[in-house]
């Protein structure tokens, strides 16, 4: 086997490759036999005389993360789960950032999540049934809105028109008697009031929102939380007026929840923070997230600098920042063939040129002479 007798009676090698036995590979003839050099995606049989498909889905257990691996002849295909898309190399599925889509979460804030997203609507807007944008709320349809006045709806808001002798309250939702309404101040220090809020409010609306406020003209500190005066003015507690109405802190203080959006709650409020910020323990302030401390691998091989609401990476010479991995990756200088008459060896952050015996590098360290 593997040889045949010629006309002179001598045994000569049979070239088995003539019959193309190596489907999906290249045939290599050898004395008395042959073997197959298989193409990518195929592997040789134990005898090395045929090429069979490699099932990458079984061989590579981590293939097609966040998706389903489908083996094909000589290769494979990733079918990604909803909300994910193929990586450039086609080997895995990564989250699709829906927030990058134009007009996503119109009239709100888009927050990308793993395999999905959610819209946080601005005050005065509500989430549409498909969850992809926010629509205006017609506040004038709310029972009791603009009591004693007339409601006028607007995009994302509304306003109350009050008749003579009445004025809008701090919530902007009821027309009330103007008697005993004056300025509320957001801060008071060393007896001096600062940060006056717009509009005129009652003492209950000002001081029950926070005992740290100042009230009146001339301005006076609000009563201390445990004092008898506080119990009289704020009999229902913090966040509620003496007559039982919720105080809308978001409407009272225009500077509330900096770096986020304010959401009014019954008797309180909370801050929904912008990307790059998080709520403090009280839930009433948005503080910067130090991404460099949260993720120690951020800007790997480089220097991570925290910035308000974000961060930046500074990579050393010989490295380049890769947004997909958020690290500084080594530049393979050898890809540009910098070594003349020599062999290039890439090293972390740089490269070396190696010369053949009898030659040496010039002063530039890139030419062998």
Within 10 Å of residue 234's Cβ, how many Cβ atoms? Answer: 23
Q: How far apart are CA 267 and CA 279, in angstroms?
A: 19
pLDDT digits (tens, 9 = 90+) for 51-69: 999 888 888 777 888 999 9
Residues of the chain predicted below pLDDT 50: 178
Inter-residue contact 184 to 205 (CB < 8 Å): yes
Query: Largest alpha-carbon pair distance within the chain?
Result: 129
What per-residue confidence (pLDDT) applies to 173? 77
Give all domains of the chain, ordered by start, each with its CATH number: 3-54 (2.10.25.10), 57-95 (2.10.25.10), 98-136 (2.10.25.10), 300-330 (no CATH), 332-369 (2.10.25.10)
pLDDT digits (tens, 9 = 90+) for 234-253: 888 999 987 888 999 999 99
Cα-atom radius of gyration of the chain, to the nearest Å? Answer: 37
Is 216 in a helix, a strand, or coil? coil
Q: Going by C-beta distance under 8 Å and a sequence separation of 6 or more, which residues neighbour residue 242?
A: 204, 208, 233, 234, 235, 236
The pTM of the full predicted model, rounded to 2 decimals, is 0.47
């Amino acid at each position: 086997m593997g040889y045949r007798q010629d006309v002179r009676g001598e045994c000569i090698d049979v070239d088995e490759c003539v019959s193309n036995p190596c489907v999906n590979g290249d045939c290599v003839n050898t004395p008395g036999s042959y073997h197959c050099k298989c193409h990518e995606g195929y592997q040789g049989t134990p005898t090395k005389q045929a090429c069979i498909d490699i099932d990458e889905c079984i061989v590579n257990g981590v293939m097609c993360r966040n998706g389903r691996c489908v083996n094909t002849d000589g290769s494979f295909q990733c079918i990604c789960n909803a909300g994910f898309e193929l990586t450039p190399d086609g080997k895995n599925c990564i989250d699709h950032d829906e927030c990058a889509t134009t007009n996503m979460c119109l009239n709100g804030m888009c927050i990308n999540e793993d395999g999905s997203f959610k819209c946080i609507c601005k005050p005065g807007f509500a989430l549409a049934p498909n969850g992809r944008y926010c629509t205006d709320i017609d506040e004038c349809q709310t029972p009791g809105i603009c009591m004693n006045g007339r409601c006028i709806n607007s995009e994302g808001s509304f306003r109350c028109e009050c008749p003579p002798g009445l004025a809008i309250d701090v919530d902007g939702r009821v027309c009330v008697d103007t008697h005993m309404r004056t300025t509320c101040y957001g801060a008071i220090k060393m007896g001096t009031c600062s940060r006056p809020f717009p509009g005129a409010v009652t003492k209950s609306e000002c001081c029950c929102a926070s005992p740290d406020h100042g009230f009146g003209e001339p301005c006076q500190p609000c009563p201390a939380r445990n004092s008898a005066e506080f119990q009289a003015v704020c009999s229902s507690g913090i966040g509620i007026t003496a007559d039982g109405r919720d105080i809308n802190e978001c409407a009272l203080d225009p500077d509330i929840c900096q770096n986020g959006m304010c959401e009014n709650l019954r008797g309180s409020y909370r801050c929904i923070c912008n990307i790059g910020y998080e709520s403090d323990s009280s839930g009433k302030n948005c503080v910067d997230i130090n991404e460099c401390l949260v993720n120690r691998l951020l800007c790997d091989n480089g220097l991570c600098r925290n910035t308000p609401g974000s961060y930046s990476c500074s990579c050393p010479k010989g490295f380049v920042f890769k947004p997909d991995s958020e690290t500084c990756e080594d530049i393979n200088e050898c890809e540009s063939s910098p070594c003349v008459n020599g062999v290039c060896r890439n090293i972390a952050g740089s490269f070396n040129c190696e010369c053949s015996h009898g030659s040496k590098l010039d002063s530039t360290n890139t030419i062998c002479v």
